[in-house]
Amino acid sequence: MKKLSKLYVSLVLLFLYVPIFVMIVFSFNTTKSRSVLSGFTLEWYAKLFENELILKSLGNTIIIAVCASIISTLLGTLAAIGISRMGKFGKATVLGINNIPIINPEIVTGVSLMLLFVFFKARMSMEFGFTTLLIAHITFDVPYVVLNVMPKFRQMTPHIYEAAQDLGCGPFKSFIKVVLPEIMPGIISGFLMAFTFSLDDFVISYFTSGPTSQTLPITIYSMTRRKVSPEINALSTIIFVVVVIVLVVKNIMERRSLNVKKYADDDSAEIIE
Amino acid sequence: MDKKFNIGQKLVASPYIVWVAVFVVVPLLMVAYFAFFGDEGKFTLEYIKSVGQYSDIFIRSIWMAAVATIICLLISYPLAFILSRMSKKTQSTMLMIVMLPMWMNFLLRTYAWMTLLGNEGLINHLLGMIGLGPFKMLNTVGAVILGMIYNYLPYMILPLYSVMEKIDPSVLEAASDLGCNRIKAMFRVVVPLSIPGIMSGITMVFVPAISTFIISRMLGGGGNMLIGDLIEMQFLGNAYNPNLGAAISLVLMVIVLIIMAAMHQLDSSDDDRVLL
Amino acid sequence: MTLKRFLTVFLAGCIFAGCLTGCGSNKAAADISVEDTEYYQKFKDDGISINVYNWGEYIPDGADGSVNINEEFTKLTGIKVNYSTYATNEELYAKLKAGAANYDIIIPSDYMISRMISEDMLEEINMDNIPNYKHIMDKFKKVEYDVEERYSVPYTWGTVGIIYDKDTVDLSEDEIDWDVLWNSEYKDDILMFDNPRDAFAIAETMLGYSLNTEDEGELRASAEKLKEQKSIVQAYVMDEIFDKMSAGEAMFAPYYAGDAVTLMSEYDNLGFVMPKSGTNLFVDAICIPKGAKQKEAAEMYINFLTEPEVALEIAEYIGYSTPNAATFELLDDEIKNDGISYPDDEYLDMHTTVFKNLSPEANKLMQDLWTEIKSDK
């Protein structure tokens, strides 16, 4: 049984990883062939770093992702605070609308925003470009922030906020001192989720970007529609390596923080005893 | 609690509410407007009616997305179960390894399959060495379904894993103590407990699969159109007709809503949505 | 701790980005000479940029040792170029018509130019700002799509034919005509145009109709012909043919002569047939869309692309035929005489037709039929 499940897991992993490894191997191939290996070269990597279009769109992607995730974290956290104070009906309505961009097919969100921006463009001369792309990204990021922060309010010790006020803190101070630390994990995971969604989004950006704000996924898409150079394999390899590094670092940090927490918990337990 | 302050706290949500109203609700109303009003601003059902011409595409899309979703479920279910029974430490590492490909841009992942499946691609090349093929794999319905499975498999694994992880091993032990064999325990205990995961996995795979236009374009060769292709074609593609595009989008939304509602009915428990 | 974790992730990303941008090197400047350097200095220090929307694979971009034309333009004029690409005339039309972007330069084909003129989508070009217009050959001036020379400056021209793989096709060049694309012997080895006008033109030629027919019956019959072909077509593609034909994925692909020349120069096994039953002769010309923000800078860009030496770089790299008389003089005899890029006048007169813009009704019908063809099982 154990062997069988090991075999099964490895088969699924094989399915998930074979395409990626093939791309990595062929990114070092001397010819453009995608089925015959003919020699080792770093030429495609050198070309990639000379490709201004790719570098520029990478820059655009990062700027958009950073701005969109910061703004949507602020917007979403404030929203979660407000929503948690609403009555049952208000809460249900707002959360229902909050779910729309999550449930709706991406292409419909993209198309609907495009129609809105065209309307804006005709009346307020707002061009397709950075602004429209940023608005679109914030729009699909915010719901995830709200969904990550909301449960933290539910988990919060009831009346802790009032307790802080009874002990003489002003409303603002008691929020900073008491509420914020409680909801912080939700804020951070919401931010990270927003950031990664923004980095990777293609469909919505495809409909809402302009000539000055091509993001990396859009550039990759137009690359796949033309004469394809093994540069694209080199790009995949680099992205893969970066992702691996980031995830490994993240995992190590997490494990360490878990250990620290465990010790801390043990300590506090002792103190209470 | 201080009532005035309570109202003040509600107000902090107002920027968000304005945002959602302007950038979520209004755009959807605009889609509806385009679907029902022609160029001269006159109400018409012409566009909604002409969506009927494309019922074949709707049926094909639903069918292909359903097949992909079912295969995803069949692959993911045992995998998620095996993962959830591993030691905690291995679990987190394994989970990371399973999720890692998802972090790569999906266009690049799909492109990778393009190079693998081609007539002169690596798979046919390897098959050729043992005297088989070449098989036509790229630009087929099968290739599109494969692309869907590959891209959306992690969306199925994660929700399944996160419900199974919560199933206490002692529950399974109890089942076997009470005379269930492994398979019986699986169906009597694990499956019912994992229903919420199954439901959220199905929606998370089905919705993107039914509306994709990239996978069908890259792996289907442009001859295997899906609803997403049809919509894209009307807005930024070779047949400019935003009114028809809006009408198709509206129908797609209704289909998705119906499916979500059905899933919600089946999954009566009112848990939080299982998120990524 | 969690914050720290996030910071690490974030920093890693930044370092990666920084490294990438830092590593981008400046290529050695391969200077292109222009006739009047003074002309290009007007906006030198204004820090403006223009948005150029061009076909894919339609300008030298520095790949394979070519000169990066957009970079050279920026160096010369100080005007930055935001460059993006489309794959078909219809895509360009949709993008402009939807109002979903603002461009300063576009390069549509003849019939699309007349359509855009008739729908008031183009800005008039001030020809005084384009001294290089004098280099354009007379036969490309005052042409039907722009009789008064107000909206366009020709960029390239060419014909449509069939690219085929000599290694796998057992027919001689003489035996190949449009009907091979309907021959079920070659099932799944045929690529087909992924845009309505070019696809319809092939069906219309085979059925003996005019390439500019507006007759509903003829258009519907052509659509039926294209549906009939669908079961043996491997894929509907545009510039993907570069990849597919060079990798030996397919035997036949109808495409533009210029791209065939580019492919054949790299792959000896590929050939190009100019069908005797008739084909399309096209001109792609540079235009300025309505509402362009930097009209004068755009005119400067048009003038730059029309510089004899710049146009030479372009013609040599993309393989399309040049309408520029001075550039033509500079071309190698080998290219002039290869018979593909510059077919003799007899072939052009006897076998080719230029697309005209169709009536709005015919355009609408063709679009709808195309959606129908593509969505057909």
Average pLDDT for residues A155-178, to the nearest whole number? 81
- Chain C residues touching A211 at Cβ < 8 A: 51-53, 82, 84, 101-103
More confident of the two residues C323 and A176:
C323
Over residues C46-95, the pLDDT tens digits come to 999 999 999 999 999 888 788 999 999 999 999 999 999 999 999 999 99
Residue type, A49: F
Task: Determine contact: C87 vs chain A, CB below 8 A.
Answer: yes
pLDDT at A80 over 70: yes
DSSP letter at B102?
A: G
Q: Please give the C-alpha separations between residue A132 and each of A66, A214, B206, in angstroms, as whole numbers.
A: 15, 12, 28
Of B225, B235, B238, the CB nearest to C90: B238
The subunits that touch chain A, with at least 3 C-beta pairs less than 8 Å apart, are B, C
Look at the alpha carbons of C58, C60, C65, C68 in this order and tell me if their dihedral is positive or negative: negative
- Chain A residues touching B19 at Cβ < 8 A: 75, 138-139, 142
Residue of C8, C84, C105, C238 to mutate, interface with A, max A Cβ within 10 Å:
C84
Encode A92-127: b = buried (16+ Cβ within 10 Å), e = exposed: eebeeebebbbbbbbbbbbbbbbbbbbbbbeeeeeb
Task: Determine contact: C26 vs chain A, CB below 8 A.
Answer: no
Which of C173, C145, C174 is closest to C157 using CA atoms?
Answer: C145
Neighbours of C127 (CB within 10 A): 14
- Chain C residues touching B111 at Cβ < 8 A: none
Separation between Cα atoms, residue A83 and residue C155, nearest integer Å: 59
List, in sequence order, every residue forming a beta bridge with C280; answer none if it has no partner: C353
Residue type, B266: L
- Per-domain residue ranges for chain C? 39-157+283-343, 159-281+352-375
Q: In chain B, whose CA is at the least distance from the CA of A112?
A: B27
Average pLDDT for residues C274-293, to the nearest whole number? 95
Specify the pLDDT at position C35.
80
Specify the pLDDT at position C6.
46
Q: Distance, in angstroms, between C99 CA and closest chain A CA?
A: 6
Q: In chain A, whose CA is at the least distance from the CA of B112?
A: A19
Over residues A243-258, the pLDDT tens digits come to 899 888 888 887 777 6
Task: Determine contact: A265 vs chain C, CB below 8 A.
Answer: no
Average pLDDT for residues C100-115, to the nearest whole number? 95
- Which residues, including other chains, have CB under 8 Å from residue A20's CB and lie 6 or more apart? A236, A240, B101, B104, B109, B112
Task: Determine contact: A50 vs chain C, CB below 8 A.
Answer: yes
* CATH no. of C39-157+283-343: 3.40.190.10
Separation between Cα atoms, residue B7 and residue B25, nearest integer Å: 24
Average pLDDT for residues C2-8, to the nearest whole number? 47
Specify the pLDDT at position A262.
59
Q: In chain A, whose CA is at the least distance from the CA of B102?
A: A16
Q: Give the pair of three-digit tokens for residue C161.
A: 């034919």
Task: Determine contact: C230 vs chain B, CB below 8 A.
Answer: yes
Separation between Cα atoms, residue C309 and residue C330, nearest integer Å: 8
Beta pairing class for C190-193 and C233-237: parallel
Specify the pLDDT at position A257.
76
Which of B2, B8, B16, B30 is closest to B235 using CA atoms?
Answer: B30
Separation between Cα atoms, residue C78 and residue C81, nearest integer Å: 10
Q: Give the pair of three-digit tokens for residue C358.
A: 């169709």
Average pLDDT for residues C111-137, to the nearest whole number? 96
Specify the pLDDT at position C10.
47
Q: Give the pair of three-digit tokens for residue B114.
A: 């393009």
The number of distinct structural domains making up chain A is 1
Specify the pLDDT at position A269.
43
> Can you give the C-alpha Rg of chain A in angstroms?
24
pLDDT at B192 over 50: yes
E strand or H helix that includes residue C50:
strand C49-55
Specify the pLDDT at position B5.
53
Neighbours of C286 (CB within 10 A): 26
Specify the pLDDT at position A272.
39
Separation between Cα atoms, residue A13 and residue A2, nearest integer Å: 17
pLDDT at A105 over 60: yes
Average pLDDT for residues C290-310, to the nearest whole number? 95
Specify the pLDDT at position B177.
83
Specify the pLDDT at position C245.
94
Neighbours of B224 (CB within 10 A): 26
Q: In chain A, whose CA is at the least distance from the CA of C12?
A: A246
Task: Determine contact: C198 vs chain B, CB below 8 A.
Answer: no
- Which residues, including other chains, have CB under 8 Å from residue B186's CB and lie 6 or more apart? B81
Q: How many CB pairs under 8 A join A and B?
A: 220
Q: State the CATH number of the domain containing residue A78.
A: 1.10.3720.10
Indicate the pLDDT class of residue C109, thresholds 50, 70 and 90.
very high
Over residues A114-143, the pLDDT tens digits come to 999 999 988 887 889 999 999 999 999 999
Q: Distance, in angstroms, between A9 CA and closest chain C CA?
A: 28
Over residues A186-218, the pLDDT tens digits come to 999 999 999 999 998 999 999 999 998 999 999
Q: Give the pair of three-digit tokens for residue B58.
A: 């709707």
Angle between helix axes B242-266 and B55-84 (nearest 10 degrees) is 40
Which DSSP string corresponds to B6-66?
HHHHHHTTHHHHHHHIIIIIHHHHHHHHHHHB-TTS-B-SHHHHHHGGGHHHHHHHHHHHH
Is A152 inside any structural domain?
A: yes
* CATH no. of C159-281+352-375: 3.40.190.10
Range of the domain at A99: 52-226
8 A C-beta contact, residue C216 and residue C173: no
Q: In chain B, whose CA is at the least distance from the CA of C241?
A: B221
Specify the pLDDT at position B220.
93
Is A47 inside any structural domain?
A: no
Looking up tokens 């701790």 gives C1
Q: Please give the C-alpha separations between residue C2 and each of A193, A254, A267, B172, in angstroms, as whole numbers.
A: 14, 8, 20, 35
pLDDT at C1 over 60: no
Separation between Cα atoms, residue C23 and residue C330, nearest integer Å: 37
Look at B118 and C249 and tell me if their CB atoms are within 8 Å.
Answer: yes
Percent of chain B with pLDDT strictly greater than 90: 61
- Nearest 5°: CA angle at A11, between A10 and A16? 95
Q: Distance, in angstroms, between B153 CA and closest chain A CA?
A: 9
Indicate the pLDDT class of residue C202, thresholds 50, 70 and 90.
very high
- Chain C residues touching A187 at Cβ < 8 A: none
Separation between Cα atoms, residue A249 and residue C5, nearest integer Å: 8
Residue of A8, A115, A247 to mutate, interface with B, max B Cβ within 10 Å:
A115
For residue A211, cis peptide bond before it (omega within 30 degrees of 0): no
Indicate the pLDDT class of residue A266, thresholds 50, 70 and 90.
low
DSSP letter at B140?
A: S
Residue of B135, B238, B241 to mutate, interface with C, max C Cβ within 10 Å:
B238
Average pLDDT for residues C205-220, to the nearest whole number? 97
Q: What is the mean pLDDT of chain C?
A: 90
Specify the pLDDT at position B276.
35
Look at C2 and A185 and tell me if their CB atoms are within 8 Å.
Answer: yes
Which of A65, C13, A12 is closest to B100 using CA atoms?
Answer: A12
Is A265 inside any structural domain?
A: no
- Burial of B78 from C-beta contacts in 10 A (0-12 / 13-18 / 19+): middle
Separation between Cα atoms, residue A215 and residue A192, nearest integer Å: 19
Indicate the pLDDT class of residue A157, thresholds 50, 70 and 90.
confident
Average pLDDT for residues B228-232, to the nearest whole number? 96
> Can you give the C-alpha Rg of chain C in angstroms?
22
Q: How many CB pairs under 8 A join A and C?
A: 108
More confident of the two residues C317 and A125:
C317
Separation between Cα atoms, residue A136 and residue C29, nearest integer Å: 39
Indicate the pLDDT class of residue C31, thresholds 50, 70 and 90.
low
8 A C-beta contact, residue B8 and residue A84: no
Over residues B100-111, the pLDDT tens digits come to 888 888 899 999
Specify the pLDDT at position A264.
55
Look at B236 and C97 and tell me if their CB atoms are within 8 Å.
Answer: no
Of C90, C230, C237, the CB nearest to B240: C90
Of C98, C196, C372, the CB nearest to B238: C196
Task: Determine contact: A254 vs chain C, CB below 8 A.
Answer: yes
- Chain B residues touching A151 at Cβ < 8 A: 272
Over residues C237-265, the pLDDT tens digits come to 999 999 999 989 999 999 999 999 999 99
- Which residues, numbered 315 to 374 in chain C, qualify as contacts with chain B under a Cβ-Cβ cut-off of 8 Å? 367-368, 370-372, 374
Is A63 inside any structural domain?
A: yes
Which DSSP string corresponds to chain A?
-HHHHHHHHHHHHHHHHHHHHHHHHHTTBSSS-SS----B--HHHHHHHH-HHHHHHHHHHHHHHHHHHHHHHHHHHHHHHHHHTS-HHHHHHHHHHHHHHHHS-HHHHHHHHHHHHHHHHHHH-PPTTHHHHHHHHHHHHHHHHHHHHHHHHHHSPTTHHHHHHHTT--HHHHIIIIIHHHHHHHHHHHHHHHHHHHHH--HHHHHH--TT---HHHHHHHHHTSS--THHHHHHHHHHHHHHHHHHHHHHHHHHHHHHHHHHHHHHHHHH-
Is A193 inside any structural domain?
A: yes
Is A199 inside any structural domain?
A: yes
Indicate the pLDDT class of residue B159, thresholds 50, 70 and 90.
very high
Separation between Cα atoms, residue A127 and residue A210, nearest integer Å: 8
Percent of chain A with pLDDT strictly greater than 90: 55
Separation between Cα atoms, residue C298 and residue C73, nearest integer Å: 11
pLDDT at B70 over 80: yes
Separation between Cα atoms, residue B16 and residue A193, nearest integer Å: 18
Indicate the pLDDT class of residue A172, thresholds 50, 70 and 90.
confident
Look at the alpha carbons of A116, A119, A124, A130 in this order and tell me if their dihedral is positive or negative: positive
Which domains occur in chain B, in start order?
A: 53-266 (1.10.3720.10)
Indicate the pLDDT class of residue C11, thresholds 50, 70 and 90.
very low
Q: Please give the C-alpha separations between residue B65 and each of B149, B202, B231, C17, C114, in angstroms, as whole numbers.
A: 9, 10, 17, 37, 42
Which of C190, C200, C129 is closest to C162 using CA atoms?
Answer: C190
Residue of A17, A85, A252 to mutate, interface with B, max B Cβ within 10 Å:
A85
Q: Please give the C-alpha separations between residue C59 and each of B179, C71, C84, C107, C156, in angstroms, as whole numbers.
A: 74, 11, 11, 11, 11
Task: Determine contact: C82 vs chain A, CB below 8 A.
Answer: yes
Specify the pLDDT at position A41.
93
Average pLDDT for residues C11-21, to the nearest whole number? 47
Specify the pLDDT at position B273.
44
Over residues B167-188, the pLDDT tens digits come to 888 888 888 888 878 778 778 8
**End-to-end Cα spacing for chain B:** 36
Report the predicted TM-score, pTM, of the whole model to 2 decimal places.
0.91
